[in-house]
A = this chain, B = another copy of it.
């Protein structure tokens, strides 16, 4: 029921993932609304099932209060399906704070991980870079950031296929002495860890393709993510304005249109369908509010892939017991 265009985009995305990738899916939300939306897509795909949830949590609701009051909300009902082992993962384009809270409460944390993180895959010149946290844990201790590094490495292996992901710490200079107090302490901890830590990286190196995992606290990560989104919007707006300003540019814009759409696709994180909720005991994907059907279908595929991967085996301590 979440997202700017819900349940239209979520239902269309689920139908697509069920048809194209044969993934069995529970559609959780207002049954009547979901039935009506589903009817627009012809015969119901095999393995697609509606699970009724009486309430929905709005984008502007305070997560804490909403979770307490609406125990029958679609987010909570979907999370319970994961908790009970009926679903292998959960996708939502709704209130990210409520999804995070419900996941922590219903699924619990992975062993040894204290705080959740939201991870996104940024595009780079070559493939992608996992950046976390972009907004779940705002005030972080250095130990939390080290946990995020392990989680990021697990994603870089499972999603990007990196065998020995390079880990960087977001800071304002390469030298270990550069950064705020929190970053300086974290640098020392990461240096002593068995991770492939390449040191501090600056903002401009984020997308150069020379690092696979970038660690930061939820405050820094969120302002970087949103600022970059704002600038991409500004640049595309400026380009649009230029193209419409003269006949010559209008022609160029028409010729260039397929290339611009390709670029937009490369810049969009719709490829993975959204952000990954890291640190909780389950595969949870938080889609962008403006997710379209393609993004929702990709999020469902990403959740399935993630659920097949044992993240906990990448965490400190656990590796030795298993391997």
Query: Which A residues are closer than 8 A to B by beta carbons?
Result: 123-125, 135, 138-139, 170-172, 179-181, 183, 202-208, 216-220, 222-235, 237-239, 242-243, 245-246, 248-249, 251-253, 255-256, 259-260, 262-263, 266-267
Q: Which residues of B contact A229 (CB under 8 A)?
A: 203-204
Q: A219-B179, A243-B259, A263-B238 are in contact. Are A230 and B207 (CB under 8 A)?
A: yes
Complex CA–CA separation, A263 to B249 (angstroms): 13
Complex CA–CA separation, A228 to B259 (angstroms): 22
- Are B263 and A242 within 8 A (Cβ)? yes
Say which residue of B123, B227, B239, B260 sits within 8 Å of A203 (CB atoms): B227
Complex CA–CA separation, A206 to B224 (angstroms): 11
Q: Which residues of B contact A170 (CB under 8 A)?
A: 223
Q: Which residues of B contact A220 (CB under 8 A)?
A: 219-220, 223
Q: A230-B208, A263-B239 are in contact. Are A138 and B172 (CB under 8 A)?
A: yes
Q: Show 20 residue pairs from A and B whose CB-CB distance is below 8 angstroms, ordered by the A residue.
A: A123-B234, A135-B172, A138-B179, A139-B180, A172-B218, A180-B217, A180-B219, A202-B223, A203-B223, A206-B227, A207-B230, A219-B220, A224-B227, A228-B231, A231-B232, A235-B235, A235-B263, A238-B266, A249-B255, A249-B256
Q: Which residues of B contact A263 (CB under 8 A)?
A: 235, 238-239, 242
Complex CA–CA separation, A202 to B228 (angstroms): 11
Q: A203-B223, A256-B249, A256-B256 are in contact. Are A237 and B125 (CB under 8 A)?
A: yes
Say which residue of B139, B172, B226, B248 sits within 8 Å of A204 (CB atoms): B226
A183, A229, A234 interface centre (most CB from chain B within 10 Å): A234
Say which residue of B224, B235, B252 sits within 8 Å of A224 (CB atoms): B224
Q: Which residues of B contact A138 (CB under 8 A)?
A: 172, 179-180
Using A124-B234, A249-B255 as known contacts, list a sample of 5 further A-B pairs with CB atoms less than 8 Å apart, ordered by residue number in A: A170-B223, A172-B223, A203-B225, A204-B226, A206-B227
